[in-house]
Amino acid sequence: MPQKTHNVSIIGAGMAGTLLAILLARRGYSVDLFERHPDPHSGERDIELASNLALGERARHALRVTGLLERVERVATPMRGRMIHDRSGRLTLQPYGYREYETLYSVRRESLQLCLLDEAERQPKIRTHFDHELQEIDWDAQVAVFRTRHNGGGHTHRFEVLIGADGPGSAVRRSMDSVSDLGSDISMLDAGYKFLTIAADEQHEPLMDPHALHVWPRGGYMMLAFPGPDGSFTATLFLPLKGDHRMIWGFEELDSWTRQSAFMDANFPDVTPLIRNLEEEFREHPVGRMGTVRLDRWHLGGKGLLIGDAAHAIVPFHGQGVNSALEDCTTLDTILDEHPPTWEAAFAALQDRRKTGTDAVANMALDAYHTMRESVRHRDFLLRKALERELEIRHPGRFVARYSLVMFHRIPYTEAYERGKVQGEILQELLNGKEELTEVDLQHAARLVNERLSEVPVSA
Ligand SMILES: Cc1cc2nc3c(=O)[nH]c(=O)nc-3n(C[C@H](O)[C@H](O)[C@H](O)COP(=O)(O)OP(=O)(O)OC[C@H]3O[C@@H](n4cnc5c(N)ncnc54)[C@H](O)[C@@H]3O)c2cc1C
């Protein structure tokens, strides 16, 4: 154990905080896990928990090593590709890949959270404190102060080591930054999102293909829908916060039911009738914000550390936030395994191994934002995808689409990013001036692939 510390305090019983608590408790640490929300078992429900997440190989690996994968898979729905809906309602399936393992798993956030919390509850060394919202931290005295709904409204906790897993708006990050400059760079997207529910039929059968992520790309905005286990879908409408008053509407302009229903009917005519409580959901569901957090430093010596979204939030369009947050936890666990270092050395090693990668995936998530809104419906995007697939089939293990490297492999994000750039150049060179796949010189392609790309390392 680093430096004889026996107690670790974690702020945020979300995905990263709960998984890390389990891993640390299994190593023999006593863990205090604080969460501002009530226990999800209590039935008091946050709308975010009703939404769905796509899990790829990084999250699945973290769940596999923790022994939770089977449990999560029982409540997850496999998705084999994107189903693109055009304005006329025509559907096109774009498979994620041609290999069996190139499948994403849609899981309700609440189900994943409950699997993790149930496992945490089985660990005698974890004490979970719900309804505890962190207010401030005195890093010198090593004291954290919480607002609670019980005990007269406040609670003071002395900590040895404190880990902030409290999401994109992290209070731990703000507190650390106020005592030592973390070099924060936070940029918010000028778009927001709203969750809507696409109902199943009366027999609880899905009204759309349940094995696909559904996408309605519309240029400056879009809608996505993830399948749920009960035949329904959780849709997320992504729109600019403010439109341009001409071609593109924003949430600000959709300020009446007349405008909201006209907008939905005009843009998503095939699915709007299936959103039974559209008016109520537009009114009740808040507009969520998204942004990118980049920090130069994730830790305060050996006293404090940030993980998950608190250290490196990204926009959600590559479906990597949870994947990456859980990968932080397994990486720290491996670091603690290798040689018992001091906490400061362990935290520095985590930042060292992860930071360039999380910066790279932040860029890829912003790229994906543009791709999903725009390019998935364009002819040159489809031609590029077709060639990419052809090269993947002809050069397995050497030419692997960047999307697949990020979602279905565990090679570092930086490597996926770099390989993606080289592959992008090869595609560009081969497609220059071409309109059909049959015009591409595949022998020349083989030479370029063999010259410029090595074998993709197999993840351990
Ligand atoms: C619309 C949308 C879609 C997404 N889709 C995907 C996807 O498909 N795949 C994917 O991998 N990722 C996705 N993400 C990203 C993913 O949700 C996050 O990356 C992930 O939840 C990060 O986990 P975390 O544990 O770091 O933070 P969180 O899950 O945000 O957990 C933080 C926890 O800390 C608690 N907390 C916050 N402040 C305090 C406080 N002051 N005191 C005590 N507790 C506090 C919160 O209540 C929460 O429980 C999506 C995000 C959005 C917004």
- pLDDT tops 70 at residue 375: no
pLDDT at 244: 80
Question: What's the mean pLDDT when you consider all of the chain?
Answer: 93
pLDDT at 1: 60
Strand partners of residue 217 = 222
Rounded CA separation 126/25 (Å): 6
- pLDDT tops 90 at residue 459: no
| Residue 118 amino acid letter | D
- The pLDDT tens digits for 68-88 are 999 999 999 999 999 999 999
**Cβ within 8 Å of residue 132, ≥6 positions away:** 34, 35, 36, 146, 147, 148, 155
Place of tokens 């897993």: 165
Rounded CA separation 388/393 (Å): 9
- Given ligand 1 and candidates 9, 10, 15, which is best to mutate, with the most ligand atoms within 8 Å of its CB? 15
Cα of 9 vs centre of ligand 1, distance in Å, is 18
193-207, 345-359, 376-390: lowest mean pLDDT where?
376-390
Closest to 387 measured CA to CA, from 350, 341, 438: 438
| Res. 396 pLDDT band, cuts 50 70 90 | very high
Higher pLDDT, 174 or 457: 174
Ligand 1 near 260 CB (within 6 A) = no
pLDDT at 307: 98
| Res. 299 pLDDT band, cuts 50 70 90 | very high
**Cβ within 8 Å of residue 174, ≥6 positions away:** none
SS3 assignment, position 105? strand
pTM confidence score: 0.95
pLDDT at 319: 94
Cα of 30 vs centre of ligand 1, distance in Å, is 24
User: What is the three-state SS of 285-328?
Assistant: CCCEEEEEEECCCCEECCCEEECCHHHHCCCHHHCCHHHHHHHH
pLDDT at 4: 66
- The pLDDT tens digits for 9-41 are 999 999 999 999 999 999 999 999 999 999 988
- pLDDT tops 80 at residue 178: yes
- pLDDT tops 60 at residue 59: yes
Cα-flanking dihedrals φ and ψ of residue 225, to 5°?
-140, 130
Cα of 168 vs centre of ligand 1, distance in Å, is 7
Ligand 1 near 275 CB (within 6 A) = no
Place of tokens 């699915």: 271
CA-nearest residue, atom 31 of ligand 1 = 14
pLDDT at 427: 97
Ligand 1 near 325 CB (within 6 A) = yes
pLDDT at 206: 95
- The pLDDT tens digits for 241-289 are 998 867 788 999 999 999 999 999 999 999 999 999 999 999 999 999 9
| Residues 297/182, Cβ–Cβ less than 8 Å | yes
- pLDDT tops 70 at residue 91: yes
How many Cβ atoms sit within 10 Å of the Cβ of residue 411?
16
SS3 assignment, position 81? strand
